[in-house]
Amino acid sequence: MDYTNILTNQEGLVLTITINRPKQLNALNKETINELHHALTAANQDNAVGAVILTGSGEKAFVAGADIKEFADFSVEKGQALSAEGHELLFNFVEKMTKPVIAAINGFALGGGLELAMSAHIRIASDNARVGLPEVSLGVIPGYGGTQRLAQLVGRGKAFEMVTTAGMIGVEEAQSWGLVNHVVPHDELMALANKIAGKICKNSPNAISAAIRAINANYEDGVNGYQAEIEEFGNCFGTPEFVEGTTAFLEKRKANFRKD
Ligand code: DAK
């Protein structure tokens, strides 16, 4: 598929997907969401991809939100339908990817942009980034998981403040809140993202997927996260990657989990 709104670039096992609508500060329209879904689905099925980096094009923005021009005239029914579709195609999809997704926040991450970053497994930011959920200033609430994931990441008190004030915070505050793991100068952002992705790719792909499922299990209705961990843990013992990992340790060599 040819993409209009995103760029993809694979180096080694790391796939970088860049949202590429810089004139609109990479705002997410429907077409961009569909393209992201397509690229992420392909990455999820591809054994040659070990980790995914999501970032935005240009110096200014990761993603400045959902495209306001697109949702300005929505009805109640359309708003609900598209919120559900967006959850399924992108935000829940990213969270449930079997490969780690790193959001490299290179500028504004607002509204749907912060919601996308919060769906990712790891967030890092450049020092010019500013993040917030300004939806209530537009007469709506965060509709792509923001009310849930922000509270999970930073606690309810800070989530209530960020959502109800519609304010933006800088990276120092975002890091102290636990919303981003690392802050680096703008020109070092992608190097750090690739460094983290590279470390991930040395480990067992099967165990990484199992760990993602186990961590996510804690946030799923009616699922006992500890029980999910027990099952995922047990299943690891039946895999060739477990044999390789333990054998390599005993033989005092580095494990090679990606033999073809
Ligand atoms: N959508 C569309 N265009 C946007 C945009 C956005 N979210 N953000 C920026 N742009 C466009 C601007 O209109 C401008 O276009 P031109 O006028 O040049 O044609 C261009 O990007 C550059 O923006 P500015 O001139 O405003 O740049 P500044 O440096 O002055 O300001 C800013 C940067 C990020 C502070 C400002 O652009 C800004 O406040 N942007 C809007 C932020 C925002 O409110 N984002 C939306 C949050 S609400 C839904 C589910 C979820 C959602 C919606 C619907 N359904 C399922 C239906 C989520 C909603 C949100 O994300």
108 and 210 part of one domain? no
One of 59, 77, 88, 115 is an active-site residue; which one? 115
Q: How far is the CA of 2 from the centre of ligand 1 (A)?
A: 25
Q: How far is the CA of 113 from the centre of ligand 1 (A)?
A: 10
184 and 243 part of one domain? no
DSSP state of 91: I
109 and 211 part of one domain? no
209 and 187 part of one domain? no
Question: Residue 210's domain spans which residues?
Answer: 205-250
Reported as a single tens digit per residue, the pLDDT across 121-164 is 999 999 999 999 999 999 999 999 999 999 999 999 999 999 99
192 and 222 part of one domain? no
132 and 232 part of one domain? no
Here the tokens at position 112 are: 């749907």
β 182-184/130-132 pair status = unpaired
pLDDT computed for residue 260 by the predictor:
63
- 115 assigned to active site: yes
pLDDT computed for residue 171 by the predictor:
98
pLDDT in tens, the chain (260 residues): 899 999 999 999 999 999 999 999 999 999 999 999 999 999 999 999 999 999 999 999 999 999 999 988 889 999 899 889 999 999 999 999 999 999 999 999 999 999 999 999 999 999 999 999 999 999 999 999 999 999 999 999 999 999 999 999 999 999 999 999 999 999 999 999 999 999 999 999 999 999 999 999 999 999 999 999 999 999 999 999 999 999 999 999 999 999 76
Residue type, 83: S
Kindly list the protein residues whose Cβ atom lies closer than 6 A to any atom of ligand 1. 24-25, 27, 64-69, 71, 74, 79, 82-83, 86, 108, 110-112, 134-135, 138, 143-144
Q: How far is the CA of 69 from the centre of ligand 1 (A)?
A: 9
Count of domains observed in the chain:
2
pLDDT computed for residue 71 by the predictor:
87
User: How far, in Å, CA of 110 to CA of 86, rounded?
Assistant: 16
Q: Which of 209, 226, 3 is nearest to 97 (CA)?
A: 209
pLDDT computed for residue 100 by the predictor:
98
CATH of the domain at 86: 3.90.226.10
User: Ligand 1 atom 27: the closest Cα is on which residue?
Assistant: 25
